[in-house]
Amino acid sequence: MSNTTKFYIDGAWVEPIAGTPFDVINPANEEVAGTISLGSAADVDRAVKAARAAFGSWSTSSKAERLELLASIIAAYERRFDELAAVITAEMGSPLWFAKDVQTNTTLDHFKEARRVLKDYDFGHMLGDTTHIVREPIGVVGMITPWNWPVNQIAAKFAAALAAGCTAVVKPSEVAPLSGIVLAEILHEAGVPKGVFNLVNGDGPTVGEAISAHPDIDMVSFTGSTRAGVLVAKSAAETVKRVHQELGGKSANIILPGADLAKAVPAGVLRCFTNTGQSCQAPTRMLVHRDQLGEVVEIARRTAEAVVVGDPLAEGTRLGPLVSKAQFDRVQHLIGVGIAEGATLVIGGQGRPADLNRGYYVRPTIFSDVRPDMTIAQQEIFGPVLSILSYKDEDDAIEIANGTLYGLSGYVWAGSLEHARAIGLRMRAGRIYLNGAPHGKLQDVEAPFGGYKQSGNGREAGIYGLEDFLEIKAILGYEVA
């Protein structure tokens, strides 16, 4: 990977017009993992011009051409699979097994799923005898992606946009941009036409703002915090472009009386801690009946006690470090707020694990006796911090579950699937997982992903993800013989 300080624009690696060197820090050892360039509005403009020039031909490409290109991307990706996983571990601290089995694997699945959906998708149909409804690519798409699933989120957007016939200008997070550079190399090797995919590294206030405000970008697809999402939407409003957003979450995990606590509680704790808690749909609020609170807390404590935190390259490590010092400081602060507001610290707390004095490692932390109005029950922490809240009955549980600004995901454990379904239907969230529905199945990249309320708008994955990159045109007087 020799292109870290360059940008990929119009099918070639080019020097920035006005780049500033920026070190990417390996969070496991606080050493430099690579150096990139932070770009400027001028770099974005050059990328947008390339994407606009390519849109005319790519938007009219045949389904067969797009299917062939997606197959080529899949083959090129598979050849560099292990390298990509290692880069993800170096840039954001994901344990290597997780980078391979989940991060890198799910990214590949997005390209496979886009190809599967495209194969059978009908871009036009008749409405009666005289009106033809056509779905057309929306145009040039600006994609602003996060550091927690760095290459997965690029693929979730770009695979669907490519299948739809769009072109793209991508800004990965400057905190974890190296896997995006590898992906650009993969796309080049696969033969993506010049200008269809363009990558400009940079920060949000400069490159992100230039993308969202650019008058020749037709749509912005953003994944990140709700705070940043609001800024993107405001900037995009001047040009009335479509804005697709996947934002924050504070997902509730309702465990009902009758559920198998020995199964439900450990599963909930470990799902909360997945990716070191740096997942927007993590079940960070565990809701349990007040009569079962003591038993649940003890099971949760034992589960967290067994979690291995350490070197992401070491076998047996479940939690690596947080991605950056800024994230480490934020999580430490919010743990302190939880203690100050009176929640009971079950395990963990502030500071690094005792045997780790370097790297952005945190102690897996569980709070009990958490009230719904506490900061740790309302704000997204983005670390391995679980809040356990108690409820008196099902109506109370639903009220607590829906009582945040967010609505990305929800989880239900019940003694019967029928009971879990009934509760899930009452939760205001874009995805509901029932009785431990496994993560990483095909359905994860086939089912729509997105949120209610301040968790965003629009959907990614499957047919719904493809259609988010399409416009609808009605042609009246289009008679058929």
Which residues share a beta bridge with 201? Answer: none
280 annotated active-site: yes
Tell me the CA distances in angstroms from 210 to 15, 149, 156, 161, 459, one per residue in order.
Answer: 18, 23, 22, 20, 24
Local structure of 472: helix, strand or coil: strand
CB 247 within 8 Å of CB 458? no
Instruction: Spot the catalytic one: 113, 209, 280, 380.
Output: 280
What single-letter amino acid sits at 353?
Answer: P
CB 231 within 8 Å of CB 215? no
| Count of residues making up the chain | 481
CB 371 within 8 Å of CB 389? yes
Instruction: Spot the catalytic one: 246, 380, 460, 467.
Output: 246
For residue 173, give the nearest of 143, 147, 210 by alpha carbon. Answer: 147
Q: Which two tokens stand for residue 262?
A: 């020995």
Tell me the CA distances in angstroms from 267 to 248, 262, 296, 299, one per residue in order.
Answer: 22, 9, 12, 11
Residue 315 burial by CB count (10 A; 0-12/13-18/19+): exposed, middle or buried? exposed
Residue with tokens 């934002």: 247
Q: How far apart are CA 2 and CA 6, in angstroms?
A: 9
Backbone Cα Rg of the chain: 23
246 annotated active-site: yes
CB 54 within 8 Å of CB 192? no
Q: Which two tokens stand for residue 259?
A: 């559920």
For residue 254, give the nearest of 230, 287, 279, 284 by alpha carbon. Answer: 287
Q: Which two tokens stand for residue 40?
A: 């400027």
CB 401 within 8 Å of CB 388? no
CB 427 within 8 Å of CB 260? no
Q: How far apart are CA 44 and CA 295, in angstroms?
A: 55
Q: In this structure, what are the phi and psi dihedrals at residue 334, rounded to the nearest 5 degrees?
A: -70, -30
DSSP per-residue codes, 311-379: -TTSTT--B---S-HHHHHHHHHHHHHHHHTT-EEEE--SS--TT--SSS----EEEES--TTSHHHHS
Residue with tokens 């801690």: 273
Catalytic residue ranges: 246, 280
